[in-house]
Amino acid sequence: MSFGPLRLAILGLATALVLILAPNVYPQTPLTSSPIVAAIEARANTTSTQRDLMRGFYAARADTPAWTSGGGLTADGTFALGVLRSAGDEGIDPRRYGIDELSRPSAADDASRAAKDVSVTVALLRYASDMLNGRPDLRALERDVDLPQDNRDIATGLAKALADHQLYEFFRALEPSTLEYATLKTALAKYRKVDAAGGWGVIPAQKPFHATGASPELLDSLKLRLSYEDDALDPARPPSADEVDAAIQRFQRRNGLDADGQVGAKTLELLNTPASERAMEIAANMERLRWLPHAPERQRVVVNVPDARLVIVDGDKEVLSSAVIVGKPSTPTPIFRAEITQVVANPPWNVPAPIARGEILPREARDPGYLARHNMVIVDGQMRQLPGARNALGELKIDLDDRFSVYLHDTPSRNLFDRRQRFLSHGCVRVAEIYPLASYALTGDTTSGIARLVEAVATSGTLHLPVKDHVPVYLVYATVFPSPDGLQFRTDIYGRDRRMIAAMTAHTQFAAADCPTGG
C-alpha cells in the first residue's frame, strides 16, 4: 500500500506526538508503510479517531508487532489473551472481545501476522476502556447518567507496560480499588459456583409459614437454602427451628424486608430466586461500579437510590447514615456526581412547570383555595411556594451543581421516613437527617454547625449559607452491595438492572466499530 505526501506527513506528526508523550518507550523510528500500518488502515468500520489510537500504540513501539511471532503468539500475547478470557471474572462476557477468533492460529505471512496483532491490540484496548469507564453501550442505555470519565491515555499506557514488562500491573490498575468492587467480584464467583453445581433448589410452600411451625422436611429444605448465604448456619448440623427462624430474619434484613420471620410471598420469592439470576444482578452492579471513580474522594456523600439511604463517608468510616425519600418509578432519581454549593435556610419552592400543570393547578380547580392554604403564589408565570411550615422543601435545602436540578432537602411530611418503601418523590432527595448533613456541608462536622442552622431557620427569612468545602455527592443505583451483615440485595425499582442484564446477555460479538476512542 502506498501513501501520498500529505498522508505520510500526517502519520509522521502522529508518531512524533506519541513519542513526545511517551518518551523512552522505544527508539524513535519513522513510521513507514508496513504490514502493521496496512492492517490498521484495512480495519473496516473504524473511525479516524480509532485509527489514530491504534497508530499511537504502534508508533510508541516503532511500528513492530506486539503480540505475535510467526504464526503464533509471544509470551506477552498468550498473557494478553488470558486477560481477555478472564473478563468473565469481572462480569463481562469474553465474547465481547472476539476471544474465540483471536484464539485460532493464523497464517505466518507478514500480512496475516499484522492483522492478528492489530486485532489483539484492539481487543485489549477495548477491554481496558471497559474496565476503566464501563461499557459505553451499557452507559448509553440510561439517559439520566452524568458521571466523570477517566481520560488517561490507555494506548500509550499499554505500550509502556508492554515495554516495561508490567502488563499484569497495567491491567490490575484498571480495576476499581474499592471494597465494594472486590466484595462483588468474590460474590460473583461464589454464586456462579452454586449455579454450576445445580443451584439451591426451590422451597415448596403454598402459604405463609414460620420455621417454628414447619414440617421437618420443609425445615430441612429451608435450612439448606439459607446456609448458602448465611455462614451462621452449619449445613452439616441440624439446626433448631429457632435458629432457622433467626436466619430467616437475617435473610429478610439483607433483602430490605421487614424482619418478621414469616416466610410470606415476597420472602419466598426471594428465597427461590435462582443463583444464576443473582449472579447476573451482581455483574450488573459491578458494571455500574466501573462507571464511578475507581479511587473515590476521601470525603463524600453517597445516596444509594434502591436502598433509599444516604451516608457520609469520611476516610474509612461512615459518619452519618440517614433514611431518604427518592424518586417514584415514573420520576426516577438520576445517577450522577455533583458538589454541594450552598445550604439554604427557609427555602422557597419554585414549582417545576410539569408539577404545576399536572398536579397543583388541577387541585386548585377541584378545591378552590388550595394555593392560598399552601402559601403558593404565581409571579410572572412561575408558581412558587413561599417558606413556611407547609413548604414542600421543609426548613433546609442543600443545593448541588448537577444538570438535573436535583437537590437534597427537608420535608414537612417526616412520617414518610418510617416507610420501608420510600420511592415517593419527583426525583429530588428528601433527607431525614437533614440538619447533621447540612452541618457537615457547612463545617465538615455533623454537629458543630447545627446551632448556626437553627438560628438561621429561626429568622423565618430565606438565607443562603456558604459551605466549607464543595463536598462531592454521588447518587448511585446499587441493588447489590456489601455490608457488615453480609451481601445486601434490593429491588430493581427503576428496571435499570433488567435493561442492563438484557443487553449484557445479548452476546454482542466484537465489532471494529466499537473499539475504544481513548481513555
pLDDT along the chain (519 residues), means of 10: 38 36 35 74 80 86 88 93 97 95 88 92 95 95 95 92 96 96 98 97 89 89 93 82 94 96 96 98 98 95 98 95 98 98 97 92 93 92 92 97 97 95 97 98 97 97 95 98 95 98 77 43
Set 294, 428, 470, 515: catalytic member: 428
Structural contact between residues 195 and 274, judged by C-beta atoms closer than 8 angstroms: yes
Which residues in 386-497 belong to E strands, given as ranges?
A: 396-400, 408-409, 423-425, 429-431, 463-466, 472-476, 480-481, 488-489
pLDDT of residue 33: 52
Q: Which three cell numbers stand for residue 274?
A: 435462582
Q: Is 64 helix (H, G, I), strand (E, B) or coil?
A: coil
Report yes or no: 456 and 344 within 8 Å, Cβ to Cβ: no
Q: Cα separation of 426 and 332, whole Å?
A: 7
CA 459, CA 462: separation in Å to the nearest integer? 8
Q: In what order do the strands lie in the sheet with 349-350?
A: 349-350, 382-385, 376-379
Contact 138, 287 (CB under 8 A): yes
Cell numbers found for residue 375: 402559601
Catalytic residue flag (residue 428): yes
**Rounded Cα distance, 13 and 15, in Å:** 5
Residues in the chain: 519
* Domains observed in the chain: 5-176+508-514 (no CATH), 200-273 (1.10.101.10), 307-348+388-476 (2.40.440.10), 355-386 (no CATH)
Give dist(CA 144, CA 138) in Å, integer: 12
Alpha-carbon distance values, 339 to 151, 301, 334, 445 (Å): 20, 9, 15, 17
pLDDT of residue 507: 63
HSE-CB of 426 using CA atoms within 13 angstroms:
15
Q: Cβ contacts of residue 429 below 8 Å, gap of 6+?
A: 303, 310, 324, 325, 326, 333, 406, 407, 408, 409, 475
Letter string b/e over residues 78-88, b meaning 16 or more CB atoms within 10 A of that residue's CB: eebbebbeebb
Q: Distance between CA atoms of 232 and 256, rounded to whole angstroms?
A: 19
pLDDT of residue 512: 39
| Residue 457 contacts residue 396 (beta carbons within 8 Å) | yes
Asked about 507 being catalytic, the answer comes back as no
pLDDT at res. 206: 80
**For residue 307, what is its C-alpha cell?**
436502598
Catalytic residue among 294, 374, 409, 464, which? 409
> Do the Cβ atoms of 45 and 513 come closer than 8 Å?
yes
SS3 assignment, position 399? strand
Residues 340 and 303: their CA atoms lie apart, in Å, by 13
State residue 44's pLDDT score.
Answer: 72
C-alpha distances out from residue 343 to 127, 150, 409, 435, 462, Å: 42, 30, 9, 10, 10
Q: In this structure, what DSSP letter does residue 238 have? A: P
Q: Which residue has the cell 439459607?
A: 226
